[in-house]
A = this chain, B = another copy of it.
Amino acid sequence: MPGTPMLDASAAGVYVIAPTPFHDDGRVDEASTDRMTDFFMEAGCTGITALGMMGEAPKLEHAEALAIATRIIRRASIPVVVGVSAPGFAAMRALARPAMDAGAAGVMIAPPSSLRTDDQIVGYYAGAIEAIGADIPVVIQDYPLAIGVVMTPGVIRRIVQANPSCVMLKHEDWPGLEKISQLRGFQADGSMRPISILCGNGGLFLDFEMERGADGAMTGYAFPDMLADVVRLSREGRRDAAHDLFDAHLPLIRYEQQPNIGLAVRKYVLKRRGILASDAQRKPGGSLSAAARAEVDYLLTRVARGDARAGKLAA
């Protein structure tokens, strides 16, 4: 909601990546969007990220994108980050400014896949922040597996030090555990100011990411309630309990993390959980074969042995 504070480096917990709910015919499903927003808050999420890659943002028209982000912002009582990555700075600004006006807590920016050198990456963030305005809190999205742009810890430090509005890293490098340790080391030696680090990659390494110093997760796994529990258990120092819960879900996390069909799995499970009315994606979108759906159903029965929340689905 508009009263939510701006994003800063103290952000922690689970910022869930929100998928965009569609009807079977491709129209945006507003009722499911509201139900989903409520569910995320009940699940213990501390924030929501709208219009991420997994949110099918590139498939939306500008007006649709802004409407969805605004709807989530208005309903949520937790901070909402809006993905504003765009082929050009004009379109980026055209989404970022009204999203902030609507009450967003900050924006997330991924580098375009054409960048190669360290200087190009640093320069890109400088240009983007100049374009949207230095008053908007920024999340750096570091996702080399999908984007092909590799940011060293040193490059991230350069971006952070040059741009006070950069307050968070969506950490999605792979492998990435050492990167967390290195960035926290930069903070410890005083060469970089503190930032929030929330981890993506579908949660596949959340168990150890927390132990390396992450503040939480920013990902869209269909059980954000579980992610929230793992973050909490890990912060409480209950290592075995955190891993036990995490490992119970790992077979499904692993299955959901497959490129291209991951979102289909996620929407299918959210539909089975009663949150989305349809698991449809806009074209071009992946869909699950009957065999794949049966595999997910089987995985859910197995997850249920370690987490009762999955068990309800069997009913």
A contact set with B: CB distance below 8 Å: 56, 58-62, 64, 87-91, 94, 113, 116-120, 123-124, 127, 130-131, 144, 149-152, 154-155, 174-175, 177-178, 181, 204-205, 207-208, 211-212, 243, 247, 250-251, 254-255, 258-261, 282-284, 289, 291-292, 295, 302
Residues of B within 8 A of A211 (CB): 295
Closest B residue to A260 by beta carbon equals B175
Contact residues of A: prevailing secondary structure: helix
Q: Point out the residues of chain B lying under 8 angstroms from A255, CB to CB.
A: 205, 208
A60 lies within 8 A of B90 (CB): yes
Task: State how many angstroms separate the Cβ of A27 from the closest Cβ of chain B.
Answer: 11
Residue of B nearest to A62 (CB): B62
CB distance from A103 to the nearest CB of B (A): 22
Closest Cβ of chain B to A204, distance in Å, is: 6
Q: Are A154 and B119 within 8 A (Cβ)?
A: yes
Chain B residues with CB under 8 Å of A205's CB are 254-255
Min C-beta distance of A115 to chain B, whole Å: 9
**Option from B120, B208, B251, B283 in Cβ contact (under 8 Å) with A295:** B208
Min Cβ gap A30→B in Å is 17
Specify which chain B residues have a CB less than 8 angstroms from the CB of A208 in the assembled complex.
Answer: 255, 295
Q: What chain B residues lie within 8 Å of A261 (beta carbons)? A: 175
Is A64 within 8 A of B89, CB to CB? no
Residue in B closest to A124 when the chains form the complex, CB atoms: B284
Of B59, B117, B119, which is within 8 A of A88 by CB? Answer: B59
7 additional A-B pairs beyond A178-B292, A205-B254, beta carbons within 8 Å, are: A117-B152, A119-B152, A123-B284, A127-B284, A177-B291, A247-B302, A250-B251
